[in-house]
Amino acid sequence: MSHHPWLNELWRFIALNVLALMIGLVIGEIVLALFFAFVFYFFWHLYHLYQLERWIVSRDTSSPPNASGIWGDVFHHFYKLQRRNRKRKKKLANMLARFQASTAAMPDATIVLNAENEIEWFNKAAIPLLGLKVKQDVNQRIDNLVRVPVFIRYLVRSNYKYPLEMISPVDHDIRLSIRIVGYGKNLKLMIVRDVTRLHQLEIVRRDFVANVSHELKTPLTVINGYLENLIDAEMEQSSQWLSILTLMHQQSGRMQQIVDDLLLLSRLETDEESPSSDPVPVPALVAAICKDTQLLANDKQQRVEVENNHELWLQGNKKELYSAFLNLAINAVKYTSQGGKIVIRWYLKGEVACFEVRDSGIGIAHEHIPRLTERFYRVDAGRSREQGGTGLGLAIVKHVLIRHHAKFSITSEIDKGSIFCCTFPFDRIILRENIKEKNA
């Protein structure tokens, strides 16, 4: 192939015109000769353009038509481009085949959704888990096939950070975990896993904890009662026995608190119904919590400040919210040093309501924060026991907030203090003036 096809074509055009000019001089018709030369050149190009169009339309994979001049180069470049595209398509087809083969072998259901939530492809595992049909359900909207309200709400959300757990629409004994991952241009990969076994083990664990806690509650109550009677008895006691009985009473009281917290946590976990939507006078709760907190803080000469929005109420369960808020306030007192400062705030931030506890305490290292709401997790086990903590307080806070569709955030710096914030959504907020109008 020539490296200068356009230069060669220019010389071809000049040579054709020179030949036509010479013929025109011989026959005495220069204009006519040049006209026929132009027509010939035009139809020559038109013929090769026709060949190119027919070759492309026919999708012939063989060698391109024979042509001379610049059209030979055009056909050659088209042929190279066609071969390159064919290799790329083959490579992509092989990659897609390998992807489909690997995902088809997975025990988890894998479904590819487009921007309209229509099914483009799914593996065999999706058939028993979601009841999809291979020939009928491709190109159908997934929300028309899986008609579960909680799944539809999850699908239309843009944030898929956390997976969804729900009962299988095919078999109510199967528990599914669904995770959606966005990729490409508005495409989604939906992964569905059978977590029935894990769910059953979790139920067994909850039942075990609840049963053990319930069985321990009565004997601990009896032991505490007898220890209190012995300590308060008017009979003469040596200081040695009094100190032993006092220590026993303290430890049994701590065990009683752990049992009570375990029972509360078990109830929060097993009660799948949403909490009541009764109006909760949160300002009154905050005032009571601040009063109790101040009594504890006086022993350590701590200062408690409060910011309380008296017009801001919530829909929810009063006892659960009080327990969660009180846990945060008591933790602040426990982990704030002598003479420190604690700030309790209840305020409106945009369209959400926030309960916040800020302290000037010892702070928490960043690596511990994600695990603080785990049961019995302690940053410093020895120090927590000395201060009377059970390791269940923040777990209770987390579950109360989950039941109220609220969010829990923790920010902290070592030796500078911590901020614990509970954020409640707009649909949980009630203004006191609206309650007055409703009652009127």
Q: Is the pLDDT of residue 234 over 60?
A: no
Mean pLDDT, the chain, integer: 80
pLDDT band at 438 (very low <50, low <70, confident <90, very high): low
pLDDT band at 1 (very low <50, low <70, confident <90, very high): very low
Return the CATH superfamily for domain 278-436: Histidine kinase-like ATPase, C-terminal domain (3.30.565.10)
pLDDT at 387: 54
Cβ(304)–Cβ(290) below 8 Å = yes
Q: Is the pLDDT of residue 440 over 60?
A: no
Is this prediction's pTM over 0.75? no
More confident residue, 327 or 96: 327
pLDDT band at 170 (very low <50, low <70, confident <90, very high): confident
Q: Which CATH number fits domain 106-194: 3.30.450.20, 3.60.20.10, 3.30.9.10, 3.20.20.70?
A: 3.30.450.20
Residue-wise pLDDT for 8-18, tens only, equals: 777 777 777 78
Q: Is the pLDDT of residue 111 over 80?
A: yes
pLDDT at 185: 79
Asked which of 79-83, 194-198, 365-369 is least confident by mean pLDDT, the reply is 79-83
Tell me which architecture the domain covering 199-270 has in CATH.
Orthogonal Bundle (1.10)
pLDDT at 431: 81
More confident residue, 215 or 437: 215
pLDDT at 42: 80
Cβ(400)–Cβ(323) below 8 Å = yes
DSSP count for the chain of H helices, then E strands: 14, 13
Residue-wise pLDDT for 285-311, tens only, equals: 999 999 988 888 888 888 889 999 989
pLDDT at 24: 78
Q: Residue 143 and residue 411: Cα distance in Å, rounded?
A: 38
Query: Which of 10, 12, 34, 11 minimizes the C-alpha distance to 22?
Result: 34
DSSP 60-116: --SPPPP--THHHHHHHHHHHHHHHHHHHHHHHHHHHHHHHHHHHTSSSEEEEE-TT
pLDDT at 253: 75
Q: What average pLDDT does this structure show over 346-368?
A: 89
